[in-house]
Amino acid sequence: MGINLEDPAVAVRESRLGSVTGYCGSARELCRKSRGCTLCDQSRAFTQCISCSANQVMNQLVFIQDAAVVEHGPAGCSGDIPGRNITGRSGRKKRGLPVRNLRYINTNLEERDIIYGGADKLRTAVRAAEQRFRPRAVFVTTTCASAIIGDDVSGICDEMEKEIGIPVVPIFCEGFRSKVWATGFDAAYHGILRKIVKPPKRRQPDMVNVINFQGRDVFSRPFGQLGLWPNYIVPYTTVERLSHISEAAASVQICSTLGTYLAAGLEEYYGVPEVKAPLPFGVAGTDAFLRELGRVTHRESEAEDYIRSEKERIAPELDRLRGRLRGKRAFIGAGAAHAHGMAAVVRELSMELVGNCVWHHDAVFDSGDARSDTLAHDVETYGDFGIDVCNKQSYELVNMLNRARPDIYIARHAGTVWATKLGIPSFLMADEHFGIGYEGLLRMGRLILDTVSHPQFVRNIAAHGRLPYTKWWLEQKPTYFLGGGAE
Q: How many helices (H) and strands (E) does the chain have?
A: 21, 13
Q: Which is nearer to ligand SF4, 54 or 344 (CB)?
A: 54
Question: Measuring CA to CA, how many Å separate 205 from each of 24, 226, 230, 276, 289?
Answer: 44, 11, 12, 18, 18
Alpha-carbon distance 18 to 389, whole Å? 14
Q: Is 54 in the site for ligand SF4 (CB under 6 A)?
A: yes
Shortest distance in whole angstroms from residue 152 CB to ligand SF4: 18
Alpha-carbon distance 68 to 134, whole Å? 8
Q: Which is nearer to ligand SF4, 109 or 318 (CB)?
A: 109
The sign one gets for the Cα dihedral 19, 26, 263, 129 is positive
Shortest distance in whole angstroms from residue 14 CB to ligand SF4: 16
- The angle formed by the CA atoms of residues 259, 138 and 184, to the nearest 5 degrees, is 30
Shortest distance in whole angstroms from residue 360 CB to ligand SF4: 16
Residues 29-48 that bind ligand SF4 (CB under 6 A): none
Alpha-carbon distance 198 to 266, whole Å? 11
- Tell me if residue 155 falls in helix, strand or coil: helix
Question: Measuring CA to CA, how many Å separate 250 from each of 22, 193, 242, 295?
Answer: 34, 16, 14, 10
What DSSP state is assigned to residue 358? E
Q: Which is nearer to ligand SF4, 175 or 191 (CB)?
A: 175
Shortest distance in whole angstroms from residue 78 CB to ligand SF4: 8
Q: Which is nearer to ligand SF4, 184 or 235 (CB)?
A: 184
Q: Which is nearer to ligand SF4, 34 or 143 (CB)?
A: 143
Alpha-carbon distance 447 to 301, whole Å? 33
When binding is defined by CB under 6 A, the residue of 21, 65, 107, 143 that contacts ligand SF4 is 143
- Whose CA is closest to 289, among 303, 272, 302? 303
Shortest distance in whole angstroms from residue 255 CB to ligand SF4: 22
Shortest distance in whole angstroms from residue 80 CB to ligand SF4: 8
When binding is defined by CB under 6 A, the residue of 144, 414, 428, 461 that contacts ligand SF4 is 144
Residues 158-197 that bind ligand SF4 (CB under 6 A): 174-175
Shortest distance in whole angstroms from residue 316 CB to ligand SF4: 50
Residues 58-87 that bind ligand SF4 (CB under 6 A): 73, 77
- What is the contact mask toward ligand SF4 in residues 249 to 288, using x (rule: CB under 6 A)? ----------------------------------------
H-helix or E-strand spanning residue 252: strand 248-253
Q: Which is nearer to ligand SF4, 58 or 255 (CB)?
A: 58
CB proximity list for 422: less than 8 A, separation 6 or greater: 398, 401, 402, 405, 462, 467
Question: Which residue type is seen at 160?
Answer: M
Q: Which is nearer to ligand SF4, 47 or 90 (CB)?
A: 47
Q: Which is nearer to ligand SF4, 107 or 356 (CB)?
A: 107
Shortest distance in whole angstroms from residue 54 CB to ligand SF4: 4
Q: Which is nearer to ligand SF4, 175 or 259 (CB)?
A: 175
CA 411 to the chain's CA centroid: 13
Residues lying near ligand SF4 in the complex (CB under 6 A) are found at 52, 54, 73, 77, 143-144, 174-175
